[in-house]
Amino acid sequence: MAISCDLIRFRSRGWICVEGSRTCLTDIEHGFYGIRKAVEQLIGPVTGTVYYTAAIEGGIAYVRGALKSGDITLSDRGFRDCVDAYAQLGFGGFTVSEIDYGSARATVTCRDAFEGWAWKRHGDVSKACYYSCGILAGFMRALAEREDIECVETECIAEGADACVFVIAPEDELVREGLMV
């Protein structure tokens, strides 16, 4: 079977690399959703925070690999390229709708974010996209070289919105705007 994608490097059978990070393909509707729900049963409402925090590290690692390989630069274009890569890898049709790289602020939208899509498929009506929030925050943290960057999902398709909307910005701005506590 021939598979083609500029982002994916096949090191050997059973080993897929994306910008130097080993990755794998997983089923979203049952696999990812099932794991997330199992963790939620075990640890409760902090599950989203666990996924968010882990994803930040994943986003940072991706950026470091992409910078090292010369595939992106520390710029608004670099952020757009990271978001495009995330979309190309199957996480949803993420689009940067606004960006102010100098302020480390961006808005990203997605009509079919993988988490929101899975939650919607299961009739789970709550904000779902903690992993995507973490990835986006990690991208901006690494590109802007700032630790204070966070991401908040302000709208989610799982709650009936037309698109998931993610606001990435310094934490103090998000708090001042009432998007974080």
The pLDDT tens digits of the residues spanning 101-128 come to 999 999 999 999 999 999 999 998 888 9
HSE-CB for 25 with a 13 A CA cutoff: 8
Sheet harboring 21-23: ordered strands across?
A: 8-12, 15-18, 21-23
Q: Which fold is adopted by the domain 27-176?
A: Muramoyl-pentapeptide Carboxypeptidase; domain 2 (3.30.1380)
Contact 60, 138 (CB under 8 A): yes
Which residues lie closer than 8 Å to 178 by C-beta, 6 or more apart?
none
Is residue 82 very low, low, confident or very high in pLDDT (cuts 50, 70, 90)? very high
What proportion of the chain, given as a percentage, has pLDDT over 90? 75
Going from N- to C-terminal start, the domains of the chain cover: 27-176
Region 16-21 average pLDDT: 74
Q: How many CB atoms lie within 10 A of CB 122?
A: 15
